[in-house]
Structure 1
């Protein structure tokens, strides 16, 4: 059985557009100007969490059989339609999280590089925020 990813994909693509429509010009500008800084900050938090735990988390999609009640429409001897219920197995996709061992030396180097990158990006992010606030002052 193949997995239908279309609903998830549509939702994933539509959500940022929907949220962007709710943001003010200033908020959109700040979001755009600080994107790389936020990505580096999130990566740093993830690497630091890995170091604190001693392992990383990864996810994989697994196909699991689920027992449920299915309904079938049949015709009886007189030609009338009847609905019968029966137990059946259905395949469902599930996301499974599992631990992955890390090399603390590699994670420490990653953390140190991300700390340096974040420090280098901070002045540019602050300048971008200031520029957005002056270009799109909020009334209120």
Structure 2
């Protein structure tokens, strides 16, 4: 996709949906029911909870209970969700020159890794294996 203006929320939602559709079906099935949302920026409460001073540091966030901590006897809670933050993603896109779809896909996959209970370090090791 080529953009003559900065991509909007809907554009990033579309990219995230395409990226999700492209992951292998067995993995995609494990994220079924997880909402994928795009917001412009993380809110102040999220930044405080994450211990971040700048909203530009956060491109995505998994909110929920990782699969490794769920059991059949759990009381249903709010649905798991993955948030992608448009403006920090666009800033990284501008700063790095990386393909925007690839960047959105990488952020989405990183957050899906958290859904599976992987730490940032685990995810980094997997990414190094690419």
TMscore range, shorter length: under 0.3
Q: TM-score, normalized by length of structure 1?
A: 0.24
Task: Tell me which structure has the larger Cα radius of gyration.
Answer: 1
